[in-house]
Amino acid sequence: MNSLPWTFEHAARIADAARPGTSGEVAAFFDLDHTVIATSASFAFNAEFIRNGIMSRRTLAKTAVAKLAVEVVPSEVGDTQRAMDLAGNAVRGMTRAEVQRVVDETLEQIITPKVFSEAKELIADHRRAGHSVVVLSAAATEMVEPIASMLGADQFRGTELEVGEDGRYTGAISFYCWAEGKVEAMKALAQKAPIDFSASFAYSDSVSDIPMLGRVGHPVAVNPDRQLRREAIERGWPILEFSKPTPLYPTSLAGSLRAKLRDRAANTTYTTRAAARTAMDSLSRRRPQ
């Protein structure tokens, strides 16, 4: 018997959403930080940028303060713009290549051990039901892409940082995948392939993601902050508590995928995701019943 108390009830919702008669594809939209992984991807990688000498501690501290301001007062447009400006300034002058290098070299060490086991099972449940798995994160695309690939996600969207002709970040942000920005990303995906939002799912820990959660028929609060918890209770949204971060893959699979990620410039995204999905399916079959 599965030891996770929420599994049976929520798995039934997932299976039911696969019923015939939906007006498009059923999708499962996942926030990343503290929903799928037990950390903040941006700050985890920023620490590595400092260690590699391509970001200062002062810049990281300023970015942290801005992020806190947005989380405390998410409705203030001025705070949002300030966070965007500081996020852009944090990487201004860095080359995209060196950022990708640090991300790829440290992904296994700082991210894959932090994936919630409950999130892994949830993703597997959605994939068995034939749902499209989508990761939406305010972290930069360069960070979100390899994580989404290793999770076996079908689609992803992160914050898009402008890169100049010299390959360096200009400090401008062309798309901020946060709050209403995530709804924009959802609509853009639906233009490529019809999505039945009324039958779809969304998962997040943050009050800033209420727009995303409110867009689907099955919103779920995961490890919610105080404001989201209050909102979820008022709206009758399910609340899931994830508390078991574990390595994403067994050591043998992790080594293989690490090599693929480091070679992603010479391999397609599809190749890495196909390997990730095969691994996820393998782990799913081993899940205790």
- Among residues 16, 33, 79, 281, the one annotated as catalytic is 33
Alpha helices in the chain (DSSP H): 7-17, 41-51, 57-72, 77-91, 96-110, 117-128, 141-151, 180-192, 210-214, 226-235, 251-262, 269-285
Coil, helix or strand for 142?
Answer: helix
- Among residues 31, 79, 104, 125, the one annotated as catalytic is 31
DSSP 193-220: S-B-GGG-EEEES-GGGHHHHHTSSEEE
The tokens describing 15, both together, are 């299976």
176 in Cβ contact with 159 (< 8 Å): yes
192 in Cβ contact with 35 (< 8 Å): no
Coil, helix or strand for 166?
Answer: coil
44 in Cβ contact with 51 (< 8 Å): no
d(CA 236, CA 142): 35
Active site residue 33: yes
Residues sharing a CB contact under 8 Å with residue 127, sequence separation 6 or more, in sequence order: 133, 152, 277, 280, 281, 284
Active site residue 79: no
Which of 136, 263, 193 has the alpha carbon at shortest distance from 275? 263
Residues taking part in catalysis: 31, 33
